[in-house]
Structure 1
Amino acid sequence: MKTDKIFWGIIFVFIGGVFLLENFNIIDFSWGYVWRFWPLLLIITGINIVFSKSNSKVGLISIISITVISLAIITYQGIKDGKENHVNSRWSFPDDNDNWDDSDSSAGVNNITNYSEDLDAKIKIATLNIYGGASTFEIENGDEQLFNARVKESKMRYFLKKTDTDSSAVLEFRSKNRNGSFNFKDDEYGKVKMQINALPVWDVNLKMGAGKADFDFSQNKVRNISLKGGAAEFDIKLGNLYNDVNLSAETGLADVNVKIPETAGCKIFVSSGLSSKSFKNFIKMKDGSYETSNFKTANQKIHLTLKGGLSNFEVNRY
């Protein structure tokens, strides 16, 4: 048997096994951690190429051993990192605003930095563009300000810029290294918790290399959401406060979970290579798309466009 077939077989079994265990909540795996090991994946791929023409048992045993050991290391570190981020990401905003600064940022204790923009009553539409490295991002509903962010940083700092045009505002929230250069491939995790105001209609765009995103839009009017990531995990919860919602996700190696209201009509367009998908209570249409039974009659319509190379897509109703 050729070693290249064995190599890719082990890789697919590994990825499929991790996705399966995650789906049953047996493990919490950090796909963002895989990003740090991309040189190791190149090494074992190169070794596989070297031994691919060899029929010797030594070559076969070598490629199997190296691949299994490498994946075991990635699995151990990925599960460990997933547990740490699961625990550490559950920090909350203070009840008062005494520690917040109205300027773009203010340094806090324990490497915590606050960013905020005041709410202007004339703002009806707001766009939030997020460019991040290997980070954990959370979004939830806020009350008083247009935008709040609390960042637990490592090597990265963030830059917040606001541009107003009539009744619209564009917020750019971008990571940069301590040396001042912008970067969204940093391998050191930052933890970012954001709040957006419930009054404007929002467009939210996220681009990151690796990491996690947990966005709860159930209390916000959100019309467009764009997600782009390499090795990432996305958990998105949509509400029923806006009647025409569009969400697109373009991923490499990712786990994408979207929750939609039971009353909403939803249509899914999916384009994937070796990705898995779970669309419970959706009907597959002749054009390859998926629809809820109430899509044509529902007042609220949600359009999902999902693209991935080797990803897991799941859409659930609540």
Structure 2
Amino acid sequence: MKADKIFWGIIFVFVGGIFLLENFNVIDFSWGHIWRFWPLLLIISGVNIIFARSSSKISVIAMVVITVAALAFICYEGLNDGGKNRNHIGWVFSDRDGNDWDDSHDPGRTDNVSNYSEDFDAKIKNATLNIYGGASAFQIENGNDRLFESRVKESITRYFLKRTDTDSTAVLEFRSKKNDGSFNFKDDEYGKVKMKINTQPLWDVNLKMGAGKADFDFSQNKVHNISLKGGAAEFDVKLGNLYNDVNLSAETGLADVNIQIPTTAGCKILVSSGLSSKTFKGFIKMDDGSYESPNFKTAAQKIHITLKGGLSNFEVNRY
């Protein structure tokens, strides 16, 4: 057996094993380490290229030893840092009124809680939310009182909110910033960011982050365009049926992407990735390589999904 086949087998076993153990809460792995150690991934990829055409036992053994050693190092550091972050990102938002935090499990915490908000004006018909974050856990749900509000539990990273209005359109920029004044896109200190967006405007939402998690529930919002970009990340997105033309794109390095769409919506999926796993239950694979729901041509609501990933898990479910 050639070395390149063994190499990719090891990679898939490593990534699949980490995802599986995390899903069953056996381990707490910090995916930010994949992003921070990306040069190491280049090194082991280069080793694979060197030995790819060789089938000698020495080449195979050398490739296996180097690959396993590199992944073992990443795994050790990820588990070590994940254990530290388990307490660091374990804050709970109150589901009663959105104003309380439950920090009773860690009464010694000294981190700051910050609130951000923008008032809603009835003249606003279209709104854009641009989120630029480091290693954070983002959550979006519907809100009715304000155009936008967010509650952030912060460490060394702070956020700032900027709003620009033009006629009936509002553009919000929500960007992370370190306390030393520098902008941050791949910070290793996780924070939890809970956001609410008004249900009246038609929204475009763009997220760019280094590593982290995003849980976006748009089932009660009108959304037109959604763009998600992340290195090592986990994306969970739920779409509703309040707008008939929805475009969602996800561009990832190493990620777990789960998208939920209504059964009444017609959906077309385009995937650009040779190494990612795909689960599109109930979809039909077309001659051009795309996937369509059975009602795509007849449904009033059309959802177009574009997925690009290096080594990711893509899943689209209908509810």
TM-score normalised by the shorter chain: which range applies? 0.7 to 0.9
Displacement of 1:73 in angstroms is: 5.2
The percentage of counterpart residues that share the same residue type is 75
Residue 94 of structure 2, aligned match among 92, 95, 104: 92
Q: Contact between 1:35 and 1:187, CA under 8 Å: does it hold in 2?
A: no
The aligned runs of 1:131-142 (5 Å cut-off) are: 131-142=132-143
The aligned runs of 1:152-231 (5 Å cut-off) are: 152-231=153-232
Q: One-letter code of the match for 1:167?
A: S
The aligned runs of 1:19-30 (5 Å cut-off) are: 19=19, 29-30=29-30
SS in 1 for 2:180: coil
C-alpha change, 1:90 and 1:301, in structure 2 (3 Å) is farther
Q: Contact between 1:32 and 1:212, CA under 8 Å: does it hold in 2?
A: no
Displacement of 1:43 in angstroms is: 6.7
Displacement of 1:111 in angstroms is: 1.3
Q: One-letter code of the match for 2:97?
A: D
C-alpha change, 1:66 and 1:171, in structure 2 (3 Å) is same
Displacement of 1:68 in angstroms is: 3.5
Which residues of structure 2 form unaligned runs of 5+? 102-109
Q: Contact between 1:283 and 1:292, CA under 8 Å: does it hold in 2?
A: yes
C-alpha change, 1:110 and 1:179, in structure 2 (3 Å) is closer
Partner of 2:68: 68
Q: Contact between 1:4 and 1:49, CA under 8 Å: does it hold in 2?
A: yes
Which residues of structure 1 form unaligned runs of 5+? 100-108
Q: Indicate yes or no: 2:3 matched with 1:12.
A: no
In the alignment, the residues of structure 2 paired with residue 92 and residue 208 of structure 1 have an alpha-carbon distance, to the nearest angstrom, of 25
C-alpha change, 1:266 and 1:50, in structure 2 (3 Å) is closer
Stretch deviating more after TM superposition (292-301 or 41-50):
41-50
Displacement of 1:62 in angstroms is: 7.4
The aligned runs of 1:1-318 (5 Å cut-off) are: 7-19=7-19, 29-38=29-38, 41=41, 64=64, 67-68=67-68, 70-72=70-72, 74-75=74-75, 78=78, 81=82, 84=86, 88=90, 90-92=92-94, 95=97, 110-318=111-319
Q: One-letter code of the match for 1:68?
A: V
TM-score normalised to the size of structure 2?
A: 0.83
SS in 2 for 1:88: coil
Displacement of 1:27 in angstroms is: 6.4
In the alignment, the residues of structure 1 paired with residue 200 and residue 87 of structure 2 have an alpha-carbon distance, to the nearest angstrom, of 31
SS in 2 for 1:11: helix
SS in 2 for 1:149: strand
In the alignment, the residues of structure 1 paired with residue 262 and residue 153 of structure 2 have an alpha-carbon distance, to the nearest angstrom, of 32
SS in 2 for 1:313: strand
Displacement of 1:87 in angstroms is: 7.5
Stretch deviating more after TM superposition (74-83 or 30-39):
74-83
In the alignment, the residues of structure 1 paired with residue 156 and residue 280 of structure 2 have an alpha-carbon distance, to the nearest angstrom, of 39
C-alpha change, 1:74 and 1:94, in structure 2 (3 Å) is farther
Displacement of 1:187 in angstroms is: 1.9
C-alpha change, 1:265 and 1:44, in structure 2 (3 Å) is closer
Displacement of 1:92 in angstroms is: 3.1
Stretch deviating more after TM superposition (177-186 or 199-208):
177-186
In the alignment, the residues of structure 2 paired with residue 261 and residue 225 of structure 1 have an alpha-carbon distance, to the nearest angstrom, of 16
SS in 2 for 1:146: strand
C-alpha change, 1:89 and 1:79, in structure 2 (3 Å) is farther
TM-score normalised to the size of structure 1?
A: 0.83
Partner of 2:106: none
Q: One-letter code of the match for 2:236?
A: D
In the alignment, the residues of structure 2 paired with residue 263 and residue 42 of structure 1 have an alpha-carbon distance, to the nearest angstrom, of 44
Displacement of 1:96 in angstroms is: 6.7
Q: One-letter code of the match for 1:84?
A: R
In the alignment, the residues of structure 2 paired with residue 142 and residue 294 of structure 1 have an alpha-carbon distance, to the nearest angstrom, of 31
Report how many aligned residue pairs link the two structures. Answer: 308
In the alignment, the residues of structure 2 paired with residue 113 and residue 2 of structure 1 have an alpha-carbon distance, to the nearest angstrom, of 55
Displacement of 1:159 in angstroms is: 1.0
